[in-house]
Structure 1
Amino acid sequence: MERYNEITNKNQREIVLLQGRPCAWGKCVFCDYIADNSKDKDAMVRLNHEVLSRVTGKYGVLEVINSGSCFELPEETLEEIRNLIHEKKIQKLFFEAHWMYRHQLQRMREYMGIPIIFKIGVETFDWDFRENYLNKHADFTSPEEVRAYFESPCLMVGIKGQTKEMIARDIELLKKYFPLGTVNVFTNNSTSVKRDEELVAWFMETYQWLLDDPSVEVLYEKTDFGVGD
């Protein structure tokens, strides 16, 4: 599994895929990504140290992801990230967190001491689809609620059961309320959720302009950031 890469097109940065404890929620119906975790703290710390040792700081920006939220990384790893920020003169950090951690984001910002762009897996702003089908356990009702805590929502498109109207509204809200965002085109995996090829084709044609939008990253494959497998 590749755990380090450089993103050189939009928002240039280094990105690392680290290992943390099992996702605190871990019940999203579409997700089989959460298997990349451990309960062996020493092994996680060693692995994460090896990955973080590849960071050069060449862009002054670092994104750290894991199969859950940044708050599930070992304390030793978080301390190493903080030290790396100073050593490599990193000026901005990207982290991801579940909605349940929203009240802890400021504490993490203070701990790291530099601006943090917090991503969140919104998947969709359609409450019924998000909660009753995807089982996200993120009960916000408006994009304004999300924006009060997070800068960059991650949307998911191309799932059977979604509609064009739902996706159009999600993109509209992303552009209206957030400075950054990611759109993940769903890929079939080991879960029961299935990809809607017709919907994907419509999205890629209708929203081709997003590929040139500097504030939105479109991931057609789950490994488009160059990490994972």
Structure 2
Amino acid sequence: MGIRYSKVQGRFQREVVLLKSFPCVYGKCSFCNYIEDNSVDEIKINEVNLEVLKKVTGEFKVLEVINSGSVFEIPKKSLEEIKKIVYEKNIEVLYFEIFYSYLGRIDEIINFFNNERNKKSIEIRFRTGIESFNNEFRRKVYNKNIILDEKKIKMLSKKIYSVCLLIGTLGQSKEMIKKDIEIALENFEAVTINVFVENGTSVKRDEELIKWFVKDMKHLFNHPRVEILIDNKDLGVFEQ
């Protein structure tokens, strides 16, 4: 049994909820086993989610919603409950996950949470998992079939607040990781660096590369725009 609610303290303090949702629209990333938490049982999904959302206090005025997919895969009833809690608890900033193919629809979510007359606006921040800006590596190793060039990255930066990078996998190089972080910081407000943890998928962990990162890139651990997750349970929520 996992944990679906937590509080993150420190520079990026916020409440975090791990909700269930319908299956990820893509669901083919070679490194991902989170989609095992997805379901097609809408009643069960909402039952779990509404119970988890009862724990939100609004303490930090920031809430992050994780659902092992995209916000558009969360059932309407669960979204309505999130909206209700956001206003009741005076939450000002709301984070959601989104897959690249949904970018054209982000205004639907922004408008959904900001259509209350005489209510203050809610800042919606979207995160997306790019994993690497190296097209060949991302497509061949991570099986994430997105092609990015400079123009598309600039477009993405206008819609996405934060990108997630995945590091410490076999086949990556130090130069690749440095370049990915450089591009991310040049174009996005925030960056989450996920250090890969073995999870039974075809992607494997590179221990030496991770040792290098922790030692030689340690300045990033105090960077005001970089959050580093050494373990996939660092946010305090997991269902495994």
Structures share a fold, TM > 0.5? Answer: yes
Higher mean alpha-carbon deviation, 137-146 vs 151-160, is at 137-146
Report the counterpart of residue 214 of structure 2 in structure 1: 204
Is 1:135 matched with 2:143?
yes
Match of 1:37?
38
One-letter identity of the residue aligned with 1:7? V
Q: Which moved more, 1:119-128 or 1:135-144?
A: 135-144
Task: Output the CA distance in 2 between the equivalents of 1:203 and 1:139.
Answer: 26
* 1:155-210 Cα distance to aligned partner (Å, 9 max, x none): 01111011111101011112211111100001111111100111111111121111
SS in 2 for 1:101: helix
What is the CA-CA distance between 1:145 and the residue it aligns to?
Answer: 3.1
Match of 1:120 in 2: 128
Give how far 1:137 is off: 2.5
Residue number in structure 1 paired with 2:189: 179
Superposed counterparts of 1:14-163, under 5 Å: 14-113=15-114, 114-142=122-150, 143-163=153-173
- Could you tell me which amino acid in structure 2 is paired with residue 137 of structure 1? N
**Contact kept in structure 2, 1:184 and 1:220, CA below 8 Å:** yes
Q: Distance in 2 between matches of 1:62 and 1:170?
A: 27
Q: 1 CA distance for matches of 2:25 and 2:230?
A: 27
Q: Percent identity?
A: 43
Residues of 1 paired with 2:51 and 2:23: CA distance?
20
- Indicate if the aligned counterparts of 2:141 and 2:203 stay in contact, CA closer than 8 A: no
TM-score (ref. length: structure 1): 0.97
Amino acid at match of 2:44: A
Q: 1: distance between equivalents of 2:82 and 2:149? A: 33
Letter in 2 for 1:84: I
CA distance in structure 1 between the aligned counterparts of 2:146 and 2:58, rounded to whole angstroms? 34
Moved >3 Å (runs of 4+): none
Quick one: distance in 1 between partners of 2:221 and 2:98?
A: 25
Aligned-residue Cα RMSD (Å) equals: 1.0
What is the CA–CA distance in structure 1 between the aligned matches of 2:62 and 2:189, rounded to whole Å?
A: 17
Deviates more, 1:56-65 or 1:126-135: 126-135
Aligned to 1:215: 225
Aligned-pair distance for 1:214? 2.2
Question: Between Structure 1 and Structure 2, how many residues are aligned?
Answer: 229
Given that residues 140 and 146 in structure 1 are in contact (C-alpha distance below 8 angstroms), is that contact kept between their aligned partners in structure 2?
Answer: no
Matched residue of 2:148: which SS?
Answer: coil
* TM-score (norm. length: structure 2): 0.93
Q: Deviations over 1:105-146 (max 9, x none)?
A: 121111112111100000000011112221112222233232
- The aligned amino acid for 1:150 is I
Q: What do the CA deviations read for 1:18-58 (whole angstroms, capped 9, x no partner)?
A: 00001110000111111001111011111100000000001
Q: Structure 2 regions of 5+ residues with no counterpart? A: 115-121
Distance 1:90 1:111 in 2: 15
Tell which deviates more after alignment, 40-49 or 137-146. Answer: 137-146
